[in-house]
């Protein structure tokens, strides 16, 4: 491996392993530990559908060597070894959680453990709800399999006769029915059976016309390449291109096959042959349960101590009930921290703008919206009230493409101008611009965030959003929207960092300035918080900064390609990654700048795609009190010694408990910090 940069995919697996750590921690509430297993499983599915799929494509190119000095096939082999190792740990954790649940009188049981009364309930549920929704496929050696869905689990059924076996596949309809069926109980004990085990209980009823001696079933699951082949030919509608690509996704190349380790070898071989897998592909054996992602939605059973204590989002102290939102923004910049403060402030702002007679126009970017988005409905209401509304809608938001097509159609029907992205660039910036006529002048109000305008994810993602009427910033936000309309109209930016135009250059420039200060024996510091740090050029300049004596601190949740400690050049970069009850999602870039800090919140991670192939926006924080607030937020995270992991060279994920501090969880501490500030105000 190149000593200067590590493989980003392997670093991502280390991040996902931190979720297993949380699932194994006794101090984490029991049901939340189950949900961490679900998040781990969901992440791993997406990893194979995207990252592994890309590596498999690259592996077909002869003699290709990646930035890390390894060939794709070598990395794929390391990925498989790591995933197999993690899968074994996953199963051990789950086995322990079952025991812990039993101590709380919660039992996840299978079809062999039902009492007669429970069996009657399961039979009735199967006949009324399940049987109409399952369509078995008979598997024959001389017939091809129909296309199997990659977001589903299947029961592979073996019916043994005296001299031969019959095979079948049943898709478990967990997309329609609940995966967890709570059985009736006469006492405080709770018994839960999985949907596939309901089907197993009634297998004989399904295949009654076959004369078998024994019948068994085993879970199998496959994962497909989720990458879309998009052509940036502007002559064809994006919607048509994307719709065709979505149709292909169901038939795309297979990248992983997981199965119950007890499935008979002859049936497994037949399935692999029909799916065009060979033994060199990613084939993972495991327990009888797969698609653990559904455990993110584990039913609400048991006592309060099994869950995180509910934290009520705080009202922002500068937003007062009965006072106009836009008037508050005109007085001073407002910085919102989600989920600690309420995202509904933003929805209320849009609602106010939609009926304010002086508001003339609203513009917004849309990437991932909530399923029944109040944000979208507020924009529609603004259009109905005669406001000019424009939405830059990114159709290529992975796994949200279909929903965004539907949102685009709805907005268009309601008179909203919809811009379907920018050819060749994915619009990932989080921008909203409200224009109001005040004393015969048009005044702009901007909202610029690190996360999506999504009221559902805002409850679990840690993000920031700046509200400002500063004309230096709002004028440049307006230029970004002009670019969406007229792609040749790039504009000049002196305050915002906008990729792919200025962000990379400006960040490198600020790093160089800190290096220059350090070499002149002046205080110099770079604090970075982001989700992914993998861009080779940025990493190289951070190494230069650390060597020069700059205080470089990194807080990276996910992919982390930097090597923190150099034995040869005698420098070490303090690096942590936090996994806790909320998903750390905000991007914050701080440069000491001689004591007048340059601080930005951003939609962009430090990845080549974000800096060079996406429209991203970083906004400077100019208000001195807001700067202090962000630095306090970062300080709490640097000193977290319960949820922060040290990101060392080996990515051992050691909890940051080396400092002589009382136990501190940064997320809860920051909530207390904001609550205290609200009380003081």
Residues annotated as catalytic (active site), given as ranges: 428
Provide long-range contacts, Cβ within 8 A and 24+ apart, for 512-516: 512/541, 513/591, 513/593, 514/545, 514/550, 514/591, 514/592, 514/593, 515/541, 515/544, 515/545, 515/548, 515/550
- At 194 the three-state DSSP class reads strand
Judge contact between 618 and 560, C-beta under 8 A.
no
d(CA 512, CA 287): 52
Residue 435 β-bridge partners: 361, 444
Looking only at the bridges linking them, the beta strands covering 214-224 and 254-260 are antiparallel
What is the bridge-based pairing of β-strands 551-556 and 525-530? Answer: parallel
Q: How far apart are CA 214 and CA 163, in angstroms?
A: 12
Cβ-based neighbours of 532, under 8 Å, separated by 6 or more: 8, 556, 557, 558, 559, 560, 605, 606, 607
Terminal-residue alpha carbon distance, the chain: 53
Q: Which residues contact 561 (CB under 8 A, 6 or more apart)?
A: 5, 6, 7, 8, 11, 68, 533, 534, 536, 539
205-222 burial string, b = 16+ CB within 10 Å, else e? ebbeeeebeebbbbbbbb
Work out whether the CA dihedral 72, 73, 79, 82 comes out positive or negative.
Answer: negative
Phi, psi for 166 (deg, rounded to 5) = -110, 145
Residue 334 phi/psi, 5-degree rounding, is -125, 130
Distance (Å, whole) CA 84 – CA 105? 32
**Bridge partners of residue 547, in order along the sequence:** none
β-pair partners for 286:
260
């Amino acid at each position: 491996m190149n000593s200067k940069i590590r493989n980003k995919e392997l670093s991502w697996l280390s991040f996902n392993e931190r979720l297993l750590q949380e699932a194994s921690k006794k101090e984490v509430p029991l049901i939340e530990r189950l949900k961490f297993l679900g998040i781990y499983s969901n992440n791993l599915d997406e990893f194979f559908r995207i990252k592994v799929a890309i590596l498999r494509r690259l592996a077909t190119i002869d003699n290709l060597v990646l930035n890390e000095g390894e060939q794709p096939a070598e990395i794929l082999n390391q990925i498989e070894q790591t995933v197999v190792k993690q899968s074994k740990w996953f199963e051990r954790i789950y086995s322990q959680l079952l025991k812990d649940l039993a101590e709380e009188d919660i039992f996840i049981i299978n079809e062999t453990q039902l009492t007669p009364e429970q069996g009657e309930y399961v039979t009735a549920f199967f006949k009324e709800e399940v049987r109409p929704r399952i369509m078995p496929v008979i598997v024959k050696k001389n017939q091809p399999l129909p296309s199997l869905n990659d977001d589903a689990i299947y029961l592979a059924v073996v019916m043994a006769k005296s001299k031969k076996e019959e095979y079948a596949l049943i898709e478990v309809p967990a997309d329609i029915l609940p995966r967890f069926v709570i059985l009736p109980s006469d006492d405080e004990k709770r018994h839960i059976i999985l949907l596939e085990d309901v089907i197993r209980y009634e297998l004989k009823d399904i295949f009654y016309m076959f004369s078998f001696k024994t019948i068994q079933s085993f879970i199998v699951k496959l994962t497909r390449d989720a990458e879309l082949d998009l052509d940036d030919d502007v002559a064809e509608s994006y919607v048509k291109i994307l719709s065709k690509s979505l149709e292909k996704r169901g038939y795309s190349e297979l990248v992983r096959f997981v199965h119950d380790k007890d499935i008979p070898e002859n049936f497994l071989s037949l399935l692999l042959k029909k799916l065009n897998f060979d033994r060199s592909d990613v084939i993972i054996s495991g327990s009888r349960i797969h698609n653990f992602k559904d455990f993110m939605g584990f039913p609400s059973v048991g006592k309060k101590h099994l869950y995180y204590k509910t934290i009520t989002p705080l009202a922002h102290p500068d937003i007062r009930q009965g006072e106009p939102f836009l008037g508050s923004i005109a007085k001073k910049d407002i910085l919102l921290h989600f989920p600690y403060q309420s995202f509904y402030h933003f929805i209320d702002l849009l609602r106010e703008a939609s009926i304010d007679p002086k508001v003339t126009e609203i513009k917004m970017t849309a990437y991932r919206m909530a399923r029944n988005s109040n944000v979208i409905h507020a924009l529609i209401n603004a259009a109905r009230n005669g406001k000019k509304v424009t939405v830059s809608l990114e159709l290529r938001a992975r796994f949200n493409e279909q929903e965004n097509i539907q949102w685009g159609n709805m907005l268009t029907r309601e008179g909203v101008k919809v811009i379907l992205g920018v050819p060749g660039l994915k619009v990932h910036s989080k921008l909203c611009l409200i224009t109001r006529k005040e004393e015969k002048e048009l005044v702009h109000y901007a909202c610029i965030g690190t996360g999506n305008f999504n009221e559902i994810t805002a409850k679990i993602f840690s993000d920031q959003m700046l509200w400002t009427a500063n004309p230096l910033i709002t004028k440049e936000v307006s230029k970004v929207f002009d670019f969406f309309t007229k792609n040749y109209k790039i504009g000049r930016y002196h305050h915002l960092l906008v990729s792919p135009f200025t962000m990379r250059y400006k960040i490198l420039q600020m790093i160089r300035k800190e290096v220059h200060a350090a070499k002149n024996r002046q205080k110099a510091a770079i604090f970075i918080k982001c989700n992914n740090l993998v861009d080779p050029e940025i990493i190289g300049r951070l190494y230069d900064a650390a060597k020069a004596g700059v205080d470089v601190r990194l807080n990276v949740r996910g992919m982390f390609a930097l090597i923190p400690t150099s034995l040869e050049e005698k420098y070490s970069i303090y690096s942590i990654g936090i996994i806790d009850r909320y998903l750390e999602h905000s991007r914050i870039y701080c440069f000491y700048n001689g004591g007048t800090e340059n601080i930005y919140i951003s939609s962009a991670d430090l990845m080549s795609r974000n800096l060079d192939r996406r429209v991203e926006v970083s906004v400077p924080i100019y208000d001195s009190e807001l700067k202090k607030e962000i630095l306090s937020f970062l300080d709490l995270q640097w000193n977290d010694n319960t949820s922060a992991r040290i990101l060392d060279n080996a990515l051992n994920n050691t909890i940051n408990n080396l400092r002589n501090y009382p136990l501190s969880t940064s997320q809860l501490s920051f909530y207390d910090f904001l609550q205290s500030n609200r009380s003081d105000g």
